[in-house]
Amino acid sequence: PAQTKSEYDLVTLTSFLLKEQAKGTMDGELAIVLSSIAVACKQIASLVTRAGISNLTGLAGAANIQGEDQKKLDVVSNEVFCNALRASGRTGIIASEEEDLPVSVEETYSGNYVVVFDPLDGSSNIDAGISTGSIFGIYAPSEECAIEDMDDPEKMMQNCVLNVCQPGSSLLASGYCLYSSSTVLVLTIGHGVFGFTYDSQIGEFVLSHPDLKVPEEGKIYAFNEGNYEGWETGLRDYMDSLKNASKWGGKPYSARYIGSLVGDFHRTLLYGGIYGYPGDTRNPNGKLRLLYECAPMSMIIEQAGGVGSTGRGRVLDVMPEKVHQRVPLFIGSKKEVEYLESFLK
Ligand code: AHM
Ligand code: MG
């Protein structure tokens, strides 16, 4: 008889990583980095949940009793991420949205992975209790990490920038953690997309979304339409067409926009549709950063059967020239992104 799955028969993130390692889809070193990231995400989830309370206790202003600056949650989250990666001992270089330049990690003893991340994306939502998230990508080092060149800071910095500036197509793994009504870690190591929901009762991420696929189409769009006037004509025509009910059998597309990439992306992955952050007259490349926002999300969407585009090409093919480089992003269901691209030709 077919076995029914018992609620006690859980696949945790740890057992998932061990299984993937045994299958040979990933080495043990990468599994260690991913476990460390998961620990950072648990910590940040807890910080985000208690943000309001911590703010209340810190109401004295900009400095606490020891005279230290009162840290904003995104700075604290950056520290949490950096510390977790250092502690993994497998990371050679880290690049964060919160740091001007990539830094090399002294304590590494193997692996030398290059990790790019946005520790707390959408943090402007925090005070209103709305979803936020962490985004990360992992590369193999493209050059030898010049740990031995520590004496020459200039050389070391160049080496770090070189290592970090790799196209998204070279990513070994990508993921994000959504901090919302539940905490969900979504991960790809290049063999499909897997979602793990945090179970606070056992303190573990539990596999809840095996082999996620984005619907091929979906009539939801997520753009900041406040920027409409600054968009190119093709894009404005596209937006108008989504609202043209008669074109879509009487019901136009639905608008949804949280203003939190991880939340907007997660919904798009599960329900289908399109998320877009285009360039406009003020910001020709939009707002989102290639390395730690657009590339990791594009790897995930491709692994889920969708498309990540700059409107004129594949995001994963863009070769970064700068660490904090921005690119326009259109991401989601295959048919929806292709329909958008047809307006920008
Ligand atoms: P951040 O990295 O400073 O948090 O900014 C990124 C966020 C994304 O999460 C979100 O999609 C976008 O900014 C929203 O921008 P806007 O407020 O311009 O719509
Ligand atoms: Mg961000």
Residue to mutate (ligand 1; options 124, 179, 228, 287; most atoms within 8 A of CB): 287
Tens digits of residue pLDDT in 1-19: 556 667 778 999 999 999 9
Please give the helix or strand (H or E) that residue 94 lies within, else none: strand 91-96
pTM: 0.93
Tens digits of residue pLDDT in 194-224: 999 999 999 999 999 999 999 999 999 999 9
Tens digits of residue pLDDT in 236-281: 999 999 999 999 999 999 999 999 999 999 999 999 999 999 999 9
126, pLDDT greater than 50: yes
291, pLDDT greater than 70: yes
User: Which atom of ligand 1 approaches the CA of 262 most closely?
Assistant: 9
CA-proximal residue: ligand 1, atom 5 (nearest): 122
| CA pair distance 317, 48, nearest whole angstrom | 34
- Return the ligand number nearest the Cα of 329: 1
| CA pair distance 270, 254, nearest whole angstrom | 15
- Return the ligand number nearest the Cα of 117: 2
Angle, CA 244 vertex, CA 243 and CA 248 arms, to 5°: 100
210 lines ligand 1 (CB under 6 A): no
In this predicted structure, what is the pLDDT of residue 58? 41
Q: Flag whether the ipTM exceeds 0.90.
A: yes
259 lines ligand 1 (CB under 6 A): yes
Q: Dig out the tokens for 329 from the structure.
A: 């992003």
Q: Band the pLDDT of 99: cuts 50, 70, 90.
A: confident
Q: What residues are neighbours of ligand 2 (ion), with CB under 5 Å?
A: 118, 121
| CA pair distance 239, 222, nearest whole angstrom | 11
In this predicted structure, what is the pLDDT of residue 4? 65
307-309: strand order across its sheet: 254-255, 220-222, 274-277, 329-332, 307-309
